[in-house]
Structure 1
Amino acid sequence: MADSKDFKAVPLEEELSQLERDLKFYPSTTADPQLLTVAQIEDFNRDGFLRGIRIFDDQEVIANREYFDRLLEQVIAAGGNSYSISTAHMKYGTVYDLLTHPRIVAHVKDLLGDNVIAWGSHFFCKMPHDGKAVSWHQDASYWPLSPSKAVTVWLAIDDADPENANMRFIAGSHHYGHMTYRPSGSHEDNVLNQTIDNPEQYGAPVDDTLKAGEISIHSDLLLHGSEANQSDRRRCGLTLRYCAADVRAGMDWNAKGVIVAGSDPSGHWLNPPRPKND
């Protein structure tokens, strides 16, 4: 797991504390969205997330799952685990294709504006009875990005529902800015290393129930997490990370940013090519 720069369990607090970051929510100002509706833009600005957006048909769902099954088998054989496939678009051409997929990018563009960067890709795969929870957290706590104009797309590889520990959101919590968290120890069986306690003080949890091939999109400031998967079913999702092109990345994270819409006039993001291996 330690080989992933965008994997949230990597301890980055000391380096992040030295960066000046603007961590307040910037609402979408898109007035003429191409795929989303104006009502969905309003919902995102109010709640901090959208869910249940169909991207892939049944045949594409099968192809995505079969690809991940093969990839997971290879990673485990090499000594990794179901959480260690991270910064995957820099290593695997098929993941790069998913990160830059026109149907996904078009939805993100409706939220972030004309110039969009895709910089992160990480499989969060909860095996049956794996016993690990993803504690309540904000993505922005782990990322050296500023200002806070970033979203995560969660692509369901498998169906995700309460039985197999779907992700949960606290609607509207992105309006509270950067929250206080505590370190999370290994004894807590937490995939991450931060925990925000008493999340209900910010609102009621909402299940991000998805069918395979659907996505949800959430703000980097939205409070979210998931329980341990105690079921007999796997729950795999591919997180795809995007930001507006005027966002600045510290700690050399700009090296993994791909221009997926518009342009990057500043040249800050290095726009790496598609990997050849798969």
Structure 2
Amino acid sequence: MNDATDYAIIPDRKSIATVQREIRFFPTDNASPKVLSPDQIDAWNRDGYLGPLTVLGDSDTQELREYFDDLLAQTFAAGKDSYSISSAHLKHARVWDLLTNPKIVSYVADLLGENVIGWGSHFFCKMPGDGKRVDWHQDCSYWPLTPTKAVTVWLAIDDADLDNGGMEVYTGSHRHGLIDFDTTEEDSGNVLDQVVTQPEKYGAHRFTPIAAGQISIHSDLLVHGSAPNQSDRRRCGLTLRYCPADVTAYLNWERKGVVVAGTAPKDRWPGAVRPF
């Protein structure tokens, strides 16, 4: 790692395995949520998933899509693929502003508490007919964070549905801790390198269609994945990652963190700088 913006899409598994972590689901206990309802808090604790929630209007959604169209064209011109735009908030001010978006953060704060860190941002863009899938996995198996209190916000840039490879989840799987997984080869068609086999043992399958401008939120322990895009339409989403400020990051990942709500100790989260 050469600088604060040099992070692999798939972190080194051996390095993460050396980190001692407390791995379990921490239910939200919030009797007075500001934007979510008590029923939504209960659903979160039960399912490990919430959505869809609308955060962007039509004009803002269209502006974001045009922004990403341009960013994707630059990425292709540089010889990279549509999955390679990672830690984007450290490189692109527009993504930083999405990570710190007050409406998005308000949903997250109702689940995580008043002191929140935004530390990750990654575009997952399936081009029409690209044949790639995201096998069943848990996010926490990739992240050197402890305890496992992180969440992912999935912001739809394009409509995502069954035809173009939208996300699918196993609700309730977040209550099983870290689930054993197999590894996959680089040429397997899996965007990542892990697969949880027999995910139906751990929860109830749910397909999660979502419209552009909406978000979903899922626990770092939720088993989820997505099938290949078999349509003639693109399917792009921006994942935004958050955790409470009492989480500790290892392997220099604390350098990616941004205080998006409340405060955080500087020795744990020194604070990244907004790019220009």
1:121 matches 2:99: no
The separation in 2 between residues aligned to 1:67 and 1:187, in whole angstroms, is: 30
Contact 1:4–1:86 (Cα < 8 Å) also in 2: no
Alpha-carbon distance in structure 2 between the residues aligned to 1:170 and 1:186 = 25
- Counterpart Cα distance in 2 of 1:238 and 1:200: 27
Task: Look up the match of 1:20.
Answer: 20
C-alpha contact 1:6 1:120 (8 A) present in aligned 2? no
| Aligned AA (2:189) | D
Cα separation, 2, equivalents of 1:203 and 1:139: 16
Q: Which residue of structure 2 lines up, in the alignment, with residue 5 of structure 1?
A: 7
Is the 2:172–2:204 Cα contact (8 Å) retained in structure 1? no
In the TM superposition, residue 19 of structure 1 has moved relative to its aligned partner by 0.8
* Displacement after TM superposition at 1:6 (Å): 5.8
Note the residue ranges of structure 2 that are not aligned, 5 or more in a row. Answer: none
Q: State the AA in 1 paired with 2:57.
A: D
CA distance in 1, matches of 2:95, 2:115: 21
- 2:109/2:115 contact within 8 Å kept: yes
**2:235 corresponds to which residue?**
235
Which residue does 2:254 correspond to in 1? 254
What secondary structure sits across from 2:218 in the alignment? strand
User: Which residue type is aligned with residue 97 of structure 1?
Assistant: D
Amino acid corresponding to residue 52 of structure 2 in structure 1: G
Whole-Å Cα distance in 1 between the matches of residues 254 and 269 of structure 2? 5
2:264 is the counterpart of 1:264: yes
SS in 2 for 1:84: coil
Give TM-score scaled by structure 2 length.
0.96
Match of 2:90 in 1: 90
Q: In the alignment, what sits opposite 2:162?
A: 162
Work out the CA distance in 1 between the residues paired with 2:56 and 2:68: 15
> Quick one: which amino acid aligns to residue 5 of structure 1?
Y
Q: Work out the CA distance in 1 between the residues paired with 2:192 and 2:178.
A: 17
Report the counterpart of residue 213 of structure 1 in structure 2: 213
Shift of 1:213: 0.2
SS at match of 1:228: coil
- Distance (whole Å) between structure 2 residues aligned to residue 60 and residue 74 of structure 1: 21
Q: Which runs of 5+ in 1 are unaligned?
A: none
Counterpart of 1:41 in 2: which secondary structure?
helix
**Distance in 1 (alpha carbons) for counterparts of 2:187 and 2:62:** 36
* Residue 186 of structure 1: how far off its partner (Å): 2.5
Deviation for aligned residue 1:251:
0.1
Conserved? CA contact 2:128–2:230, under 8 Å: yes
User: Which is further off, 72-81 or 261-270?
Assistant: 261-270
Number of the residue aligned with 1:143:
143
Over 6 Å off, 4+ runs: none
RMSD, matched Cα: 1.1
Q: Distance in 2 between matches of 1:121 and 1:90?
A: 9
CA displacement 1:246-272 (0-9 Å, x = unmatched): 000000000010000000135311211
The CA distance in 2 between the partners of 1:78 and 1:5, in whole Å, is 17
**TM-score normalised according to structure 1 size:** 0.96
The equivalent residue for 2:39 is 39
Q: Secondary structure at the match of 1:162?
A: coil
* Equivalence for 1:76: 76
Q: Following superposition of structure 1 onto structure 2, how do residues 163-182 of structure 1 map, counting pairs within 5 Å?
A: 163-182=163-182
Shift of 1:4: 5.7
Are residues 155 and 4 of structure 1, via their aligned partners in 2, closer, same or farther at CA, if it must alter by over 3 Å? farther
SS of structure 2 residue aligned to 1:233: coil
Structure 2: distance between partners of 1:273 and 1:103: 21
User: Which residue identity is paired with 1:253?
Assistant: W
Q: Secondary structure at the match of 2:120?
A: strand
- Equivalent residue, structure 1, for 2:195: 195
Post-superposition shift, 1:62?
0.2
Q: Give a deviation string over 1:80-105, Cα, whole Å, max 9, x none.
A: 11000000000000000000000000
User: Matches of 2:124 and 2:141 in 1, distance apart?
Assistant: 18
| Matched position secondary structure for 1:188 | coil
